Chain A
Amino acid sequence: MTMQAMIDEWYPVGLFSQLDQAGRTTTLMEEPIIVACDADGHAKVTSGNGRTLPVLVRYGHVWSSLGEPRKELFPIPEADQPGRRFVDVGCVRVRCSPLRAVENFLDIAHFPFVHTDILGAEPHTEVQNYKVEIREDVDEVWATQVKFYQPLAAKSASGGITTEYMYRVPAPTCSVLYKTCPPRPSEWDVITLFVQPLAEDLCDVWPWMALFDDVTSMTDLIHFQQTIFLQDRSILENQIPRLLPLDPGMEIPTRADLTSVAYRRWLKRHNYTYGAQLVAQ
Protein backbone atom coordinates (compact mmCIF):
# COMPACT_ATOMS: atom_id res chain seq x y z
CA MET A 1 0.00 0.00 0.00
CA THR A 2 1.08 3.52 -0.64
CA MET A 3 -1.02 6.55 0.08
CA GLN A 4 1.16 8.97 -1.83
CA ALA A 5 -0.35 8.73 -5.31
CA MET A 6 -3.90 8.97 -4.00
CA ILE A 7 -3.34 11.62 -1.36
CA ASP A 8 -3.57 14.48 -3.88
CA GLU A 9 -7.00 13.43 -5.14
CA TRP A 10 -10.34 15.03 -4.25
CA TYR A 11 -12.70 12.97 -2.08
CA PRO A 12 -16.32 13.49 -1.03
CA VAL A 13 -16.58 14.25 2.69
CA GLY A 14 -20.20 15.34 3.19
CA LEU A 15 -23.45 16.63 1.74
CA PHE A 16 -23.39 20.36 1.17
CA SER A 17 -27.08 20.57 2.15
CA GLN A 18 -26.30 19.18 5.60
CA LEU A 19 -23.40 21.43 6.56
CA ASP A 20 -23.63 23.36 9.81
CA GLN A 21 -21.28 25.61 11.72
CA ALA A 22 -20.78 23.09 14.53
CA GLY A 23 -19.29 20.74 11.96
CA ARG A 24 -19.27 17.00 11.52
CA THR A 25 -16.27 14.91 12.48
CA THR A 26 -15.36 12.26 9.96
CA THR A 27 -12.25 10.55 8.64
CA LEU A 28 -10.27 10.77 5.42
CA MET A 29 -7.64 8.09 4.86
CA GLU A 30 -7.33 7.47 8.59
CA GLU A 31 -6.96 11.15 9.47
CA PRO A 32 -9.76 12.76 11.49
CA ILE A 33 -11.25 15.81 9.77
CA ILE A 34 -14.03 18.27 10.56
CA VAL A 35 -16.43 19.32 7.81
CA ALA A 36 -18.33 22.51 8.60
CA CYS A 37 -19.43 25.82 7.12
CA ASP A 38 -18.54 29.33 8.19
CA ALA A 39 -20.99 32.10 9.05
CA ASP A 40 -21.36 32.92 5.34
CA GLY A 41 -22.26 29.36 4.46
CA HIS A 42 -18.95 28.49 2.81
CA ALA A 43 -17.73 24.95 3.31
CA LYS A 44 -14.54 24.46 5.27
CA VAL A 45 -12.62 21.33 6.09
CA THR A 46 -10.05 21.14 8.87
CA SER A 47 -7.74 18.28 9.75
CA GLY A 48 -7.39 16.91 13.27
CA ASN A 49 -4.30 19.02 13.91
CA GLY A 50 -6.01 22.24 12.83
CA ARG A 51 -4.67 22.39 9.27
CA THR A 52 -7.07 23.94 6.74
CA LEU A 53 -7.59 21.50 3.89
CA PRO A 54 -8.46 22.23 0.25
CA VAL A 55 -12.21 22.38 -0.27
CA LEU A 56 -14.69 22.67 -3.08
CA VAL A 57 -18.43 22.14 -3.45
CA ARG A 58 -19.70 20.25 -6.48
CA TYR A 59 -22.43 17.74 -7.35
CA GLY A 60 -24.22 18.28 -4.02
CA HIS A 61 -21.16 17.28 -2.02
CA VAL A 62 -18.24 18.86 -0.23
CA TRP A 63 -14.88 17.62 -1.55
CA SER A 64 -11.53 17.76 0.15
CA SER A 65 -8.03 16.32 0.05
CA LEU A 66 -5.22 15.62 2.51
CA GLY A 67 -2.64 16.56 -0.13
CA GLU A 68 -2.42 19.18 -2.84
CA PRO A 69 -4.81 18.45 -5.69
CA ARG A 70 -3.09 19.24 -8.98
CA LYS A 71 -6.24 18.81 -11.06
CA GLU A 72 -9.73 20.21 -11.03
CA LEU A 73 -12.43 17.82 -9.91
CA PHE A 74 -13.56 15.71 -12.89
CA PRO A 75 -16.33 17.32 -14.97
CA ILE A 76 -19.89 16.03 -15.17
CA PRO A 77 -21.44 18.35 -17.79
CA GLU A 78 -24.92 16.91 -17.11
CA ALA A 79 -24.77 18.48 -13.64
CA ASP A 80 -25.35 21.87 -15.32
CA GLN A 81 -28.06 20.73 -17.69
CA PRO A 82 -31.47 22.32 -17.13
CA GLY A 83 -34.40 20.04 -16.38
CA ARG A 84 -32.45 17.43 -14.46
CA ARG A 85 -33.29 16.58 -10.86
CA PHE A 86 -30.34 16.20 -8.54
CA VAL A 87 -30.69 13.53 -5.88
CA ASP A 88 -28.55 13.47 -2.71
CA VAL A 89 -28.95 9.83 -1.77
CA GLY A 90 -27.04 10.16 1.52
CA CYS A 91 -24.15 8.33 3.08
CA VAL A 92 -23.89 4.60 3.69
CA ARG A 93 -20.89 3.13 5.50
CA VAL A 94 -19.46 -0.12 4.19
CA ARG A 95 -16.76 -2.25 5.77
CA CYS A 96 -14.88 -2.81 2.52
CA SER A 97 -12.06 -1.35 0.48
CA PRO A 98 -13.08 1.90 -1.26
CA LEU A 99 -11.72 0.40 -4.48
CA ARG A 100 -13.94 -2.66 -4.08
CA ALA A 101 -16.97 -0.41 -3.72
CA VAL A 102 -16.16 1.18 -7.09
CA GLU A 103 -15.39 -2.15 -8.74
CA ASN A 104 -18.73 -3.60 -7.63
CA PHE A 105 -20.46 -0.55 -9.12
CA LEU A 106 -18.82 -1.39 -12.46
CA ASP A 107 -19.99 -4.99 -12.44
CA ILE A 108 -23.03 -6.04 -14.45
CA ALA A 109 -22.99 -9.80 -14.09
CA HIS A 110 -24.30 -9.74 -10.51
CA PHE A 111 -27.54 -7.89 -11.37
CA PRO A 112 -29.88 -10.89 -11.71
CA PHE A 113 -28.62 -12.48 -8.50
CA VAL A 114 -28.23 -9.51 -6.16
CA HIS A 115 -30.74 -7.02 -7.60
CA THR A 116 -33.28 -9.66 -8.54
CA ASP A 117 -36.37 -8.37 -10.37
CA ILE A 118 -34.99 -4.81 -10.39
CA LEU A 119 -31.74 -4.55 -12.34
CA GLY A 120 -31.81 -8.13 -13.59
CA ALA A 121 -33.68 -11.41 -13.49
CA GLU A 122 -32.98 -15.01 -14.36
CA PRO A 123 -32.79 -16.37 -17.00
CA HIS A 124 -31.54 -13.10 -18.57
CA THR A 125 -28.05 -13.48 -17.12
CA GLU A 126 -25.84 -13.09 -20.19
CA VAL A 127 -23.48 -10.13 -20.31
CA GLN A 128 -23.23 -9.24 -23.99
CA ASN A 129 -20.01 -8.00 -25.51
CA TYR A 130 -19.13 -4.42 -24.66
CA LYS A 131 -16.22 -2.05 -25.25
CA VAL A 132 -13.67 -1.00 -22.66
CA GLU A 133 -10.84 1.47 -23.00
CA ILE A 134 -8.55 3.68 -20.97
CA ARG A 135 -9.00 7.06 -22.66
CA GLU A 136 -5.55 8.56 -22.67
CA ASP A 137 -6.65 12.16 -23.43
CA VAL A 138 -8.78 12.42 -20.28
CA ASP A 139 -7.04 9.63 -18.36
CA GLU A 140 -10.28 7.85 -17.51
CA VAL A 141 -11.57 4.29 -17.72
CA TRP A 142 -14.61 3.99 -20.01
CA ALA A 143 -16.94 1.08 -20.75
CA THR A 144 -19.47 1.62 -23.52
CA GLN A 145 -22.15 -0.32 -25.40
CA VAL A 146 -23.07 -2.22 -22.27
CA LYS A 147 -26.55 -3.71 -22.66
CA PHE A 148 -28.58 -5.60 -20.13
CA TYR A 149 -32.19 -6.70 -19.73
CA GLN A 150 -33.71 -5.04 -16.67
CA PRO A 151 -37.15 -5.72 -15.20
CA LEU A 152 -37.29 -2.33 -13.39
CA ALA A 153 -34.37 -0.27 -14.68
CA ALA A 154 -35.41 2.99 -12.99
CA LYS A 155 -38.22 4.41 -10.95
CA SER A 156 -39.42 6.02 -14.19
CA ALA A 157 -39.46 2.72 -16.13
CA SER A 158 -42.66 0.79 -16.66
CA GLY A 159 -41.92 -2.86 -17.21
CA GLY A 160 -38.77 -4.59 -18.40
CA ILE A 161 -36.46 -2.93 -20.91
CA THR A 162 -33.05 -3.60 -22.37
CA THR A 163 -31.02 -0.85 -20.78
CA GLU A 164 -27.86 0.61 -22.23
CA TYR A 165 -25.06 1.68 -19.90
CA MET A 166 -21.80 3.59 -20.12
CA TYR A 167 -19.43 3.50 -17.19
CA ARG A 168 -16.71 5.96 -16.47
CA VAL A 169 -14.02 6.02 -13.77
CA PRO A 170 -12.59 9.55 -13.61
CA ALA A 171 -10.96 9.25 -10.16
CA PRO A 172 -9.74 6.25 -8.16
CA THR A 173 -12.77 6.16 -5.82
CA CYS A 174 -15.45 7.70 -8.04
CA SER A 175 -17.51 6.29 -10.85
CA VAL A 176 -20.12 7.85 -13.11
CA LEU A 177 -22.74 5.71 -14.79
CA TYR A 178 -24.75 6.83 -17.82
CA LYS A 179 -27.90 4.85 -18.26
CA THR A 180 -30.90 4.75 -20.62
CA CYS A 181 -33.37 7.40 -19.48
CA PRO A 182 -36.83 5.84 -19.87
CA PRO A 183 -38.85 9.09 -20.17
CA ARG A 184 -36.30 10.80 -22.45
CA PRO A 185 -34.60 8.33 -24.81
CA SER A 186 -32.26 10.94 -26.32
CA GLU A 187 -30.61 11.63 -22.95
CA TRP A 188 -28.72 9.59 -20.37
CA ASP A 189 -29.59 9.40 -16.69
CA VAL A 190 -26.49 10.02 -14.61
CA ILE A 191 -25.89 7.93 -11.49
CA THR A 192 -22.67 8.36 -9.58
CA LEU A 193 -20.87 6.58 -6.80
CA PHE A 194 -18.61 8.91 -4.82
CA VAL A 195 -16.56 7.01 -2.25
CA GLN A 196 -14.87 8.57 0.77
CA PRO A 197 -11.98 6.34 1.89
CA LEU A 198 -11.95 6.22 5.70
CA ALA A 199 -9.33 3.48 5.80
CA GLU A 200 -8.06 0.86 3.38
CA ASP A 201 -10.92 -1.44 4.38
CA LEU A 202 -13.63 1.03 5.37
CA CYS A 203 -15.50 3.64 3.36
CA ASP A 204 -18.46 5.98 3.31
CA VAL A 205 -20.34 5.80 0.03
CA TRP A 206 -22.22 8.84 -1.27
CA PRO A 207 -24.38 7.99 -4.28
CA TRP A 208 -25.69 10.97 -6.25
CA MET A 209 -27.94 11.21 -9.30
CA ALA A 210 -28.88 13.68 -12.02
CA LEU A 211 -32.06 12.38 -13.62
CA PHE A 212 -34.81 13.36 -16.00
CA ASP A 213 -37.91 12.32 -14.06
CA ASP A 214 -40.65 14.82 -13.34
CA VAL A 215 -43.05 12.31 -11.86
CA THR A 216 -41.37 10.36 -9.10
CA SER A 217 -41.14 11.96 -5.66
CA MET A 218 -37.66 12.81 -4.34
CA THR A 219 -38.12 10.32 -1.49
CA ASP A 220 -38.96 7.53 -3.95
CA LEU A 221 -35.87 8.36 -6.02
CA ILE A 222 -33.68 8.20 -2.90
CA HIS A 223 -35.26 4.94 -1.78
CA PHE A 224 -34.83 3.31 -5.18
CA GLN A 225 -31.10 3.97 -5.13
CA GLN A 226 -30.74 3.06 -1.44
CA THR A 227 -32.48 -0.25 -2.13
CA ILE A 228 -29.99 -1.07 -4.86
CA PHE A 229 -26.97 -0.03 -2.85
CA LEU A 230 -28.03 -1.83 0.34
CA GLN A 231 -28.43 -5.02 -1.67
CA ASP A 232 -24.76 -4.63 -2.60
CA ARG A 233 -23.58 -3.76 0.87
CA SER A 234 -23.85 -7.22 2.42
CA ILE A 235 -22.05 -8.69 -0.60
CA LEU A 236 -19.25 -6.12 -0.40
CA GLU A 237 -18.70 -6.77 3.30
CA ASN A 238 -18.17 -10.45 2.62
CA GLN A 239 -15.63 -10.19 -0.19
CA ILE A 240 -12.27 -11.87 0.45
CA PRO A 241 -9.57 -10.64 0.48
CA ARG A 242 -10.80 -7.36 1.90
CA LEU A 243 -8.38 -5.32 -0.21
CA LEU A 244 -8.75 -5.20 -3.99
CA PRO A 245 -6.25 -7.63 -5.52
CA LEU A 246 -4.05 -6.03 -8.19
CA ASP A 247 -1.85 -9.09 -8.58
CA PRO A 248 -3.06 -10.96 -11.65
CA GLY A 249 -2.15 -14.21 -9.94
CA MET A 250 -4.94 -13.77 -7.43
CA GLU A 251 -8.09 -13.89 -9.51
CA ILE A 252 -9.08 -15.13 -12.94
CA PRO A 253 -11.37 -12.66 -14.72
CA THR A 254 -13.83 -13.59 -17.44
CA ARG A 255 -14.91 -11.52 -20.45
CA ALA A 256 -17.77 -10.03 -18.42
CA ASP A 257 -15.15 -8.48 -16.12
CA LEU A 258 -13.44 -6.35 -18.78
CA THR A 259 -14.28 -3.08 -17.03
CA SER A 260 -12.88 -4.38 -13.78
CA VAL A 261 -9.70 -5.51 -15.55
CA ALA A 262 -9.24 -2.04 -17.06
CA TYR A 263 -10.00 -0.37 -13.72
CA ARG A 264 -7.40 -2.49 -11.90
CA ARG A 265 -4.84 -1.91 -14.65
CA TRP A 266 -5.47 1.86 -14.49
CA LEU A 267 -5.14 1.86 -10.67
CA LYS A 268 -1.88 0.00 -10.93
CA ARG A 269 -0.51 2.30 -13.64
CA HIS A 270 -1.09 5.35 -11.42
CA ASN A 271 -0.01 3.65 -8.23
CA TYR A 272 -3.52 4.21 -6.87
CA THR A 273 -3.10 1.42 -4.36
CA TYR A 274 -4.70 2.68 -1.15
CA GLY A 275 -7.16 -0.16 -0.45
CA ALA A 276 -5.43 -2.56 -2.82
CA GLN A 277 -3.48 -5.75 -2.32
CA LEU A 278 -0.36 -5.76 -4.48
CA VAL A 279 0.91 -9.29 -3.99
CA ALA A 280 -1.42 -12.26 -3.74
CA GLN A 281 -1.27 -13.82 -0.29
Chain B
Amino acid sequence: MKLYDYILSPSCYKVRLMAALTGVKLELRPVDFHPGAEHRGPELLALNPAGSIPILEDGDLLLTESSAILVYLAAQAAPEWLAGSKPEEAARVQQWLSFSGRLTASLGGARLHEMLLRPGDIGALQAQGIAALRELEAGLFEQAQRGKRFLAADRPTVADIACFPYVALAPDGGVSLDPYPTIRLWSRAVRALEGFIEMPGIHRLHELKPEPTVETGDA
Protein backbone atom coordinates (compact mmCIF):
# COMPACT_ATOMS: atom_id res chain seq x y z
CA MET B 1 0.00 0.00 0.00
CA LYS B 2 1.48 3.29 -1.09
CA LEU B 3 0.61 6.54 0.66
CA TYR B 4 1.38 9.90 -0.95
CA ASP B 5 2.29 11.63 2.26
CA TYR B 6 3.27 14.95 3.77
CA ILE B 7 4.74 14.89 7.26
CA LEU B 8 2.94 18.10 8.32
CA SER B 9 -0.47 17.21 6.86
CA PRO B 10 -2.99 16.22 9.53
CA SER B 11 -5.01 14.30 6.93
CA CYS B 12 -1.95 12.25 5.95
CA TYR B 13 -1.21 11.74 9.65
CA LYS B 14 -4.69 10.22 10.08
CA VAL B 15 -3.66 7.49 7.66
CA ARG B 16 -0.22 6.96 9.22
CA LEU B 17 -1.80 6.83 12.69
CA MET B 18 -4.51 4.38 11.63
CA ALA B 19 -1.89 2.17 10.00
CA ALA B 20 0.28 2.26 13.12
CA LEU B 21 -2.66 1.43 15.40
CA THR B 22 -3.79 -1.48 13.25
CA GLY B 23 -0.39 -2.82 12.27
CA VAL B 24 -0.71 -2.07 8.55
CA LYS B 25 2.55 -1.46 6.72
CA LEU B 26 2.57 1.56 4.41
CA GLU B 27 5.03 2.49 1.73
CA LEU B 28 5.42 6.27 2.10
CA ARG B 29 5.95 8.47 -0.92
CA PRO B 30 6.81 11.96 0.43
CA VAL B 31 5.16 14.84 -1.41
CA ASP B 32 6.84 18.27 -1.45
CA PHE B 33 3.64 20.10 -0.42
CA HIS B 34 5.50 23.11 0.99
CA PRO B 35 7.34 24.95 -0.44
CA GLY B 36 7.25 22.89 -3.67
CA ALA B 37 3.42 22.60 -4.17
CA GLU B 38 4.03 19.18 -5.72
CA HIS B 39 0.40 18.18 -5.00
CA ARG B 40 -0.61 20.72 -7.67
CA GLY B 41 1.84 19.30 -10.19
CA PRO B 42 0.94 17.10 -13.18
CA GLU B 43 1.93 13.76 -11.64
CA LEU B 44 -0.29 14.10 -8.59
CA LEU B 45 -3.14 15.91 -10.34
CA ALA B 46 -3.33 12.92 -12.69
CA LEU B 47 -3.95 10.74 -9.64
CA ASN B 48 -6.20 13.17 -7.82
CA PRO B 49 -7.77 16.03 -9.81
CA ALA B 50 -8.82 17.64 -6.51
CA GLY B 51 -5.14 18.40 -5.87
CA SER B 52 -5.23 17.18 -2.29
CA ILE B 53 -3.30 14.60 -0.30
CA PRO B 54 -3.37 11.93 1.11
CA ILE B 55 -3.68 9.57 -1.82
CA LEU B 56 -3.60 5.82 -1.19
CA GLU B 57 -2.76 3.34 -3.92
CA ASP B 58 -3.30 -0.37 -3.41
CA GLY B 59 -3.26 -2.36 -6.63
CA ASP B 60 -6.16 -1.10 -8.73
CA LEU B 61 -7.65 0.83 -5.85
CA LEU B 62 -6.99 4.56 -5.69
CA LEU B 63 -8.42 6.48 -2.73
CA THR B 64 -8.24 10.25 -2.25
CA GLU B 65 -10.61 10.80 0.69
CA SER B 66 -9.01 10.29 4.09
CA SER B 67 -12.16 8.84 5.69
CA ALA B 68 -12.41 6.23 2.94
CA ILE B 69 -8.74 5.38 3.46
CA LEU B 70 -9.30 4.91 7.21
CA VAL B 71 -12.22 2.59 6.53
CA TYR B 72 -10.17 0.63 4.03
CA LEU B 73 -7.25 0.13 6.44
CA ALA B 74 -9.58 -0.90 9.26
CA ALA B 75 -11.54 -3.29 7.07
CA GLN B 76 -8.29 -4.91 5.94
CA ALA B 77 -6.58 -5.30 9.27
CA ALA B 78 -8.76 -4.44 12.26
CA PRO B 79 -12.54 -4.54 11.69
CA GLU B 80 -13.14 -3.69 15.36
CA TRP B 81 -12.27 -0.10 14.40
CA LEU B 82 -15.38 -0.01 12.17
CA ALA B 83 -18.95 0.45 13.39
CA GLY B 84 -20.56 -2.64 14.90
CA SER B 85 -23.99 -3.91 13.94
CA LYS B 86 -25.96 -1.55 16.20
CA PRO B 87 -27.74 1.07 14.05
CA GLU B 88 -27.02 3.88 16.49
CA GLU B 89 -23.29 3.13 16.60
CA ALA B 90 -23.10 2.80 12.81
CA ALA B 91 -24.83 6.15 12.44
CA ARG B 92 -22.57 7.84 14.97
CA VAL B 93 -19.46 6.65 13.12
CA GLN B 94 -20.83 8.09 9.86
CA GLN B 95 -21.91 11.29 11.60
CA TRP B 96 -18.41 11.99 12.95
CA LEU B 97 -16.65 10.88 9.77
CA SER B 98 -18.65 13.51 7.87
CA PHE B 99 -18.17 16.03 10.67
CA SER B 100 -14.39 15.62 10.36
CA GLY B 101 -14.62 17.44 7.03
CA ARG B 102 -15.76 20.54 8.92
CA LEU B 103 -12.70 20.31 11.16
CA THR B 104 -10.46 20.14 8.09
CA ALA B 105 -12.11 23.14 6.48
CA SER B 106 -12.14 25.31 9.61
CA LEU B 107 -9.29 24.38 11.97
CA GLY B 108 -7.18 23.03 9.10
CA GLY B 109 -7.74 26.21 7.12
CA ALA B 110 -6.81 28.38 10.10
CA ARG B 111 -3.64 26.31 10.63
CA LEU B 112 -2.56 26.64 6.99
CA HIS B 113 -3.19 30.37 7.16
CA GLU B 114 -1.29 30.94 10.40
CA MET B 115 1.58 28.57 9.70
CA LEU B 116 2.18 28.32 5.96
CA LEU B 117 0.65 31.69 4.94
CA ARG B 118 -2.17 30.25 2.84
CA PRO B 119 -4.90 32.78 1.99
CA GLY B 120 -8.17 32.78 3.91
CA ASP B 121 -10.45 34.75 6.23
CA ILE B 122 -8.71 33.86 9.48
CA GLY B 123 -11.47 35.28 11.71
CA ALA B 124 -14.16 33.24 9.95
CA LEU B 125 -12.02 30.07 9.93
CA GLN B 126 -11.30 30.34 13.64
CA ALA B 127 -14.97 31.08 14.45
CA GLN B 128 -16.09 28.02 12.45
CA GLY B 129 -13.38 25.97 14.17
CA ILE B 130 -14.58 27.05 17.60
CA ALA B 131 -18.18 26.19 16.67
CA ALA B 132 -17.04 22.71 15.60
CA LEU B 133 -15.00 22.23 18.79
CA ARG B 134 -18.02 23.18 20.92
CA GLU B 135 -20.10 20.61 19.09
CA LEU B 136 -17.41 17.98 19.57
CA GLU B 137 -17.08 18.83 23.27
CA ALA B 138 -20.85 18.41 23.72
CA GLY B 139 -20.85 15.15 21.77
CA LEU B 140 -18.00 13.70 23.81
CA PHE B 141 -19.57 14.85 27.07
CA GLU B 142 -22.84 13.10 26.17
CA GLN B 143 -20.88 9.96 25.32
CA ALA B 144 -19.17 10.20 28.71
CA GLN B 145 -22.59 10.37 30.37
CA ARG B 146 -23.42 7.13 28.54
CA GLY B 147 -20.23 5.63 29.95
CA LYS B 148 -18.37 5.75 26.62
CA ARG B 149 -14.90 7.23 26.24
CA PHE B 150 -14.85 7.58 22.47
CA LEU B 151 -16.97 9.29 19.83
CA ALA B 152 -19.12 6.38 18.71
CA ALA B 153 -18.55 3.62 21.26
CA ASP B 154 -16.57 2.68 24.34
CA ARG B 155 -13.75 1.68 22.02
CA PRO B 156 -11.96 3.81 19.47
CA THR B 157 -13.27 3.72 15.92
CA VAL B 158 -12.25 5.25 12.61
CA ALA B 159 -14.37 8.27 13.62
CA ASP B 160 -11.98 9.12 16.45
CA ILE B 161 -8.96 8.94 14.14
CA ALA B 162 -10.76 11.08 11.55
CA CYS B 163 -11.42 13.84 14.10
CA PHE B 164 -8.36 13.70 16.34
CA PRO B 165 -5.55 15.32 14.27
CA TYR B 166 -7.18 18.64 13.35
CA VAL B 167 -8.53 18.99 16.89
CA ALA B 168 -5.16 18.29 18.51
CA LEU B 169 -3.49 20.79 16.18
CA ALA B 170 -6.08 23.55 16.69
CA PRO B 171 -3.56 25.71 18.62
CA ASP B 172 -1.38 25.80 15.46
CA GLY B 173 -4.18 27.87 13.92
CA GLY B 174 -4.53 30.13 16.94
CA VAL B 175 -7.50 28.25 18.45
CA SER B 176 -7.00 27.27 22.09
CA LEU B 177 -8.16 23.92 23.48
CA ASP B 178 -8.22 25.24 27.05
CA PRO B 179 -12.04 25.64 27.19
CA TYR B 180 -12.74 21.96 26.34
CA PRO B 181 -12.02 19.56 29.23
CA THR B 182 -13.80 16.60 27.64
CA ILE B 183 -11.87 17.03 24.40
CA ARG B 184 -8.64 17.06 26.38
CA LEU B 185 -9.57 13.81 28.18
CA TRP B 186 -10.45 12.23 24.83
CA SER B 187 -7.20 13.46 23.32
CA ARG B 188 -5.37 11.84 26.19
CA ALA B 189 -7.27 8.58 25.65
CA VAL B 190 -6.35 8.60 21.95
CA ARG B 191 -2.70 9.35 22.68
CA ALA B 192 -2.63 6.52 25.24
CA LEU B 193 -3.68 3.91 22.65
CA GLU B 194 -1.16 1.15 22.10
CA GLY B 195 0.81 1.81 18.93
CA PHE B 196 0.05 5.55 18.92
CA ILE B 197 2.48 7.64 16.86
CA GLU B 198 3.00 11.39 16.98
CA MET B 199 3.43 14.09 14.36
CA PRO B 200 5.07 17.52 14.68
CA GLY B 201 2.80 19.56 16.96
CA ILE B 202 1.22 16.49 18.60
CA HIS B 203 3.41 15.31 21.42
CA ARG B 204 3.39 11.90 22.98
CA LEU B 205 2.19 11.46 26.53
CA HIS B 206 5.30 11.94 28.63
CA GLU B 207 3.07 11.89 31.70
CA LEU B 208 2.31 8.22 31.13
CA LYS B 209 5.86 7.27 31.98
CA PRO B 210 6.13 5.22 35.15
CA GLU B 211 5.85 7.18 38.39
CA PRO B 212 9.21 7.74 40.03
CA THR B 213 9.59 5.58 43.12
CA VAL B 214 9.04 7.61 46.24
CA GLU B 215 11.12 6.55 49.22
CA THR B 216 9.02 6.51 52.36
CA GLY B 217 10.95 7.76 55.35
CA ASP B 218 10.66 6.53 58.90
CA ALA B 219 9.26 9.78 60.24
Q: For chain A, what secondary structure do more than half of its interface residues adopt (helix, strand, loop), or is it mixed?
A: helix
B 112-141 to A, binary, CB cutoff 8 A, 1 in contact else 0? 001111000000000000000000000000
Whole-angstrom distance between the Cβ of A154 and the nearest chain B Cβ: 16
A 191-219 to B, binary, CB cutoff 8 A, 1 in contact else 0? 00000000000001000000000000111
Are the CB atoms of B8 and A230 closer together than 8 Å?
A: yes
- In the complex, which residue of chain B has the Cβ closest to the Cβ of A116? B204
Q: In residues 142-176 of chain B, which contact A (Cβ within 8 Å)?
A: 171-172, 174
Q: For chain B, what secondary structure do more than half of its interface residues adopt (helix, strand, loop), or is it mixed?
A: loop
B201 within 8 Å of A (CB atoms)? yes
B35 within 8 Å of A (CB atoms)? yes
Whole-angstrom distance between the Cβ of B155 and the nearest chain A Cβ: 28
Interface stretch among A67-75, A90-98, A269-277?
A: A90-98
Q: In residues 9-39 of chain B, which contact A (Cβ within 8 Å)?
A: 30-32, 34-36, 38
The answer, among A113, A217, A218, A226, for a CB contact under 8 Å with B8, is A226
Q: In residues 45-82 of chain B, which contact A (Cβ within 8 Å)?
A: none
Residues of chain B with a CB closer than 8 A to A114's CB: 203
A 1-34 to B, binary, CB cutoff 8 A, 1 in contact else 0? 0000000000000010010000000000000000
Are the CB atoms of A234 and B32 closer together than 8 Å?
A: no
Q: How many residues of B contact A (CB 8 A)?
A: 22
Residues of chain B with a CB closer than 8 A to A234's CB: 171-172, 201, 203
Q: How many residues of A contact B (CB 8 A)?
A: 28
Given the known inter-chain contacts A116-B204, A219-B31, A233-B201, please indicate yes or no for A91 contacting B114, CB distance below 8 A: no
Q: Which residues of B contact A (CB under 8 A)?
A: 6-8, 30-32, 34-36, 38, 114-117, 171-172, 174, 200-201, 203-204, 206
Q: How far is the CA of A227 from the CA of B202 in the complex (A)?
A: 11
- In the complex, which residue of chain A has the Cβ closest to the Cβ of B5? A223
A237 within 8 Å of B (CB atoms)? yes
Q: Which of A15, A18, A230 has the most CB of B within 10 A?
A: A230
Residues of chain B with a CB closer than 8 A to A226's CB: 7-8, 34, 200
Q: In residues 219-268 of chain A, which contact B (Cβ within 8 Å)?
A: 219-220, 222-223, 226-231, 233-234, 237
Are the CB atoms of A231 and B201 closer together than 8 Å?
A: yes
The answer, among B116, B203, B204, for a CB contact under 8 Å with A91, is B116
Q: List 7 A-B contacts (CB under 8 A).
A: A90-B35, A116-B204, A204-B117, A226-B8, A230-B115, A231-B200, A231-B203
Whole-angstrom distance between the Cβ of B114 and the nearest chain A Cβ: 6
